[in-house]
Amino acid sequence: DAGITQSPRYKITETGRQVTLMCHQTWSHSYMFWYRQDLGHGLRLIYYSAAADITDKGEVPDGYVVSRSKTENFPLTLESATRSQTSVYFCASTRGRNEQYFGPGTRLTVT
């Protein structure tokens, strides 16, 4: 029972490169979320999805793209990475109107 997994766990990339962070959940939860966590800002919502092919912007969506073709997967793409996108990224899921279950996080460094 894997629950919710993220890959890679650590990533170093250069400014201007495209990078995709993967999130996979085994519960068939309808909702999935992407957050970033930075010192002094706490967790901030980037994008979320209520179901396959339905996505909505969160608090800080600029510079990010998401897609959700299958219920269990919710990849996050940085189309042209910038140093300000260096952060820890968390994926989460929920059935809806309930608590969220978080993945272990991906630590991304943009040099």
Partner 1 sequence: SQKIEQNSEALNIQEGKTATLTCNYTNYSPAYLQWYRQDPGRGPVFLLLIRENEKEKRKERLKVTFDTTLKQSLFHITASQPADSATYLCALGLNDMRFGAGTRLTVKP
Query: Does 48 contact partner 1 by CB under 8 A?
Result: yes
Between 15 and 91, CB nearer to partner 1: 91
Instruction: Mark the segment that binds partner 1 (CB under 8 A) among 19-27, 42-50, 60-68, 69-77.
Output: 42-50
**Residues touching partner 1, count (CB under 8 A):** 27
The least distance separating partner 1 from the CB of residue 42, rounded to whole angstroms, comes to 4
**Span near partner 1 by CB under 8 A; candidates 14-22, 68-76, 78-86, 96-104:** 96-104
Q: Which residue stretch of 12-20, 38-46, 62-70, 74-82 sits at the interface with partner 1 (rule: CB under 8 A)?
A: 38-46
CA gap 46, 57 in Å, rounded: 6
Q: How far is the CB of 105 from partner 1 (least distance, A)?
A: 6
Neighbours of 87 (CB within 10 A): 21
